[in-house]
Amino acid sequence: MIDAAELVDNDFLRQFELKIDDHFAKIEYSLQERKIFLTKLILPEELDNEEFVAEFLTTVFDNIEERNLSVVPTSPEIAKFIRRNRRYKKLLPVGLRI
């Protein structure tokens, strides 16, 4: 589903954006030093399912990993994703446990 869509990092609005058909999913963030605080996951009703959320977050986390940033999840959905996908725990700042 996400393969055909392109992840956009909108610096001005401070959010990752993904448009699929007529639906728009986004993750709001705050960037401070070398840490990115993922604050809010916003999904349209049509895309609000576990499979899409996992694909969307995987795409976002891969982007963050390429940029060598630490992740601070302040959204419960995003923290839950990190707990289920241990490979992204290495992106957490030192001392932060989820």
Question: What average pLDDT does this structure show over 18-23?
Answer: 88
**pLDDT of 75 above 60:** yes
The domains of the chain are located at 8-42+51-91
Cα separation, 35 vs 71, whole angstroms: 6
Q: Which two tokens stand for residue 58?
A: 């995987």
**pLDDT of 4 above 70:** no
CA nearest neighbour of 34 among 92, 97, 95, 98? 92
Q: Which two tokens stand for residue 9?
A: 């990092």
When the pLDDT of each residue in the chain is averaged and rounded to a whole number, the result is 91
Architecture of the domain spanning 8-42+51-91: 3-Layer(aba) Sandwich (3.40)
pLDDT digits (tens, 9 = 90+) for 29-71: 999 999 999 999 999 998 888 899 999 999 999 999 999 999 9
Query: What is the model's pTM?
Result: 0.89
Report which secondary-structure segment, H or E, holds 70. strand 70-73
